Chains A and B, each alone.
Chain A
């Protein structure tokens, strides 16, 4: 399988804040969406910074379109669209001024497409960005990221300021984007329901370490949570336990294969695991 983005053992230490992005490795195949999940400060934005070279990594390799991107690889950055959380653009600009600057930066800037997005998203072209709502600034950033025909979209909490209706529209837009088989999206988000809807793969990061990367098919149809008592828990095969968390009256156990567990442990109660629950178990739970 060919990958549009590959990270291998990417490490970046911040001695002042005592945070280290610790040997993060994952890959994003062409034509797919990878959801990047983790709590605040887990290292999502730092990882994205290492991918985009806005942060100089200490070690490891990041391959985009099959090769490492240096500062001089401007042609490679033509193929990447980026949306950060919050104020992506100077607030005293208008959308028109933004388009003029972008047209000078990107060889493939499509002003007509940008205009179409402005109309579709109902964004006034002549109004200063500072007068936009948070949702409008996010929509503007998404419009700008798509208007130079990128192959890879890197979205850092891009849907966080949007209402549910607009979020749904954006997710449909992202799904349409990856219909082209050479297009992919790296989508970092706190809103796990968004990832459940669109992501093909989910990467969980916690405290600078990548916990696991799993396909959504595995996550939906194989991964499960067993609710058991102490006596049932002690009878479990450790190889079946990804993580567990003791609650007041039960122990929640994250399993890599729910159906297999039902066959193996006949009295067990096994539920479908949501991304939220998996994240909680991986982050707050214990490992064997």
Chain B
């Protein structure tokens, strides 16, 4: 698995480096300027951007014969897929780190930037939810649809992730029209749990599709 993680890092690293530098400057700008909407945009971009970049790297990897070569090395197909899922979690944590740092920096400069204390939690739920649902959709679709469609599958997965999170939010808003804080936390936790479960169930599905694939 160690080699697979290094592989995943080297595939994503060139683009992640550029994205991290842009996010760093954008983060400083966002923290200095007093604009909650800009900060919300930054948090969501950070939490989904690093994950989306990692998924885009997968298509890049499959452009060479390396994807086939890797199958001839001493690794199981299931381990290859698992390594991608674990890498996605790590990239989500990196994105969360950037988002958290921007919120913390903004708070240090101007005080708490949101209306309610639950807002950062809900932002985290939305960002992590989109990222996890997007990844859960992308991997099985990628192995099913083929590497030549990776760009469109990434867009479909991203839109799917946004759609599912919005759908679940609408559902909870209908169930609890006037949410109090405990209900808000319950709904947020439920969305996060759904996202995590779909991410976990997506892994064996992607493994099953990948095992049937020939290269």
> Which residues from chain A sit less than 8 Å from chain B, CB to CB?
49, 52-56, 71-72, 74-75, 77-78, 80, 82, 84, 86-93, 97, 100-107, 154
**Given contacts A71-B211, A77-B74, A78-B74, is CB(A87)–CB(B10) below 8 Å?**
no
Q: How far is the CB of A275 from chain B (nearest CB, A)?
A: 27
Q: List B contacts of A93 (CB < 8 A).
A: 10
B66 on interface, CB distance cutoff 8 Å: yes
Q: List B contacts of A101 (CB < 8 A).
A: 3, 6-7, 10
Which are the 6 A-B pairs with shortest beta-carbon distances? A104-B3, A105-B3, A104-B2, A74-B74, A55-B214, A82-B72
Instruction: Please tell me if the beta carbons of B68 and A84 are within 8 angstroms of each other in the complex.
Output: yes
Q: List A contacts of B109 (CB < 8 A).
A: none
Q: List B contacts of A74 (CB < 8 A).
A: 74-76
For window 55-83 of B, CB contacts with A under 8 Å fall at: 60-61, 64-66, 68-78
Instruction: Please tell me if the beta carbons of B64 and A91 are within 8 angstroms of each other in the complex.
Output: yes
Q: How far is the CB of A205 from chain B (nearest CB, A)?
A: 18
Mind listing 27 A-B residue pairs with CB under 8 Å?
Answer: A49-B215, A52-B71, A54-B68, A54-B71, A71-B78, A74-B75, A77-B72, A80-B72, A82-B69, A82-B72, A87-B64, A87-B66, A88-B66, A88-B69, A97-B10, A101-B6, A101-B7, A102-B3, A102-B73, A103-B3, A104-B1, A104-B4, A104-B6, A105-B4, A105-B75, A106-B73, A107-B74
In the bound assembly, the distance between CA atoms of A158 and B30 in angstroms comes to: 53
Instruction: Please tell me if the beta carbons of A90 and B214 are within 8 angstroms of each other in the complex.
Output: no
In the bound assembly, the distance between CA atoms of A55 and B215 in angstroms comes to: 6
Q: How far is the CB of A17 from chain B (nearest CB, A)?
A: 12
Instruction: Please tell me if the beta carbons of A56 and B69 are within 8 angstroms of each other in the complex.
Output: no
Residue of B14, B61, B73, B78 with most partner-chain A CB within 10 A:
B73
B11 on interface, CB distance cutoff 8 Å: yes
**Given contacts A49-B215, A90-B10, A90-B60, is CB(A105)–CB(B66) below 8 Å?**
no
Please name the residue on chain A nearest to B15 by beta carbon: A92
Q: How far is the CB of A75 from chain B (nearest CB, A)?
A: 7
What 10 new A-B contacts, CB under 8 Å, besides A88-B65, A97-B10? Answer: A49-B214, A53-B71, A77-B74, A82-B72, A87-B65, A89-B69, A100-B6, A100-B10, A101-B3, A102-B3
Please name the residue on chain B nearest to A107 by beta carbon: B74
Q: How far is the CB of A222 from chain B (nearest CB, A)?
A: 36
Instruction: Please tell me if the beta carbons of B214 and A54 are within 8 angstroms of each other in the complex.
Output: yes
Please name the residue on chain B nearest to A12 by beta carbon: B214
Number of B interface residues at 8 Å Cβ cutoff, please give it.
30
Residue of B4, B76, B214 with most partner-chain A CB within 10 A:
B214
B114 on interface, CB distance cutoff 8 Å: no
Q: List B contacts of A49 (CB < 8 A).
A: 214-215
Instruction: Please tell me if the beta carbons of A75 and B64 are within 8 angstroms of each other in the complex.
Output: no
Q: How far is the CB of A95 from chain B (nearest CB, A)?
A: 12
Instruction: Please tell me if the beta carbons of B61 and A90 are within 8 angstroms of each other in the complex.
Output: yes
B116 on interface, CB distance cutoff 8 Å: no
B178 on interface, CB distance cutoff 8 Å: no
A89's partner among B66, B77, B215 (CB-CB below 8 A) is B66
In the bound assembly, the distance between CA atoms of A87 and B215 in angstroms comes to: 14
Please name the residue on chain B nearest to A97 by beta carbon: B10
Please name the residue on chain A nearest to B79 by beta carbon: A74
B5 on interface, CB distance cutoff 8 Å: yes
Q: How far is the CB of A29 from chain B (nearest CB, A)?
A: 22
For window 151-199 of B, CB contacts with A under 8 Å fall at: none
Q: List A contacts of B5 (CB < 8 A).
A: 104
Instruction: Please tell me if the beta carbons of A54 and B3 are within 8 angstroms of each other in the complex.
Output: no
In the bound assembly, the distance between CA atoms of A87 and B212 in angstroms comes to: 24
In the bound assembly, the distance between CA atoms of A88 and B64 in angstroms comes to: 7
Residue of B6, B14, B61 with most partner-chain A CB within 10 A:
B6
Please name the residue on chain A nearest to B10 by beta carbon: A97
In the bound assembly, the distance between CA atoms of A103 and B73 in angstroms comes to: 11
Instruction: Please tell me if the beta carbons of A77 and B211 are within 8 angstroms of each other in the complex.
Output: no
Q: How far is the CB of B146 from chain A (nearest CB, A)?
A: 13
Q: List B contacts of A91 (CB < 8 A).
A: 64
Residue of A53, A84, A90, A93 with most partner-chain B CB within 10 A:
A90
Please name the residue on chain B nearest to A92 by beta carbon: B14
Please name the residue on chain A nearest to B77 by beta carbon: A71
